Structure 1
Amino acid sequence: MSLVQRLSAFLRSPRGQQLVDRGRRELAKPENQAKLKQLATRLSSRRR
């Protein structure tokens, strides 16, 4: 099995679905969105 196949199989599993749901809940929080925006800004400024 390739890595992509194993990953997609895991994401379809109950444990994978739990992790996806948890990630979505965490991303919905405003403080986490602000942290991601700061990280994106920092990373984009490094490329210049």
Structure 2
Amino acid sequence: MSALVRRISTFLRSPRGQQLVERGRREMAKPENQARLRQLATRLSSRRR
């Protein structure tokens, strides 16, 4: 498992990984995407009960 985590962290430090992280931050700054994420979290939490 640690090999997988190491590969992911290496990727996130790479230029392409940094681009994806920045794109994710820009997308999550949009209110409509925040609402979608809240709805998904609500659905997932209600399934656990």
TM-score range, shorter chain: over 0.9
Q: Aligned residue for 2:12?
A: 11
Q: Aligned residue for 1:42?
A: 43
- Of residues 1-10 and 17-26 in structure 1, the stretch that sits farther from structure 2 once superposed is 1-10
Partner deviation per Cα, 1:3-48 (whole Å, 9 max, x = no partner) = 1111111000000000000000001100000000000111111111
Query: What TM-score results when the alignment is normalised by the length of structure 2?
Result: 0.91
Question: Which of structure 1's runs of 4+ aligned residues deviate more than 2 A?
Answer: none
**RMSD (Å), alpha carbons:** 1.2
Query: What TM-score results when the alignment is normalised by the length of structure 1?
Result: 0.93
Kindly, what percent of the aligned residue pairs are identical?
81
CA distance in 2, matches of 1:21, 1:27: 10
Gaps of 5+ in 2: none
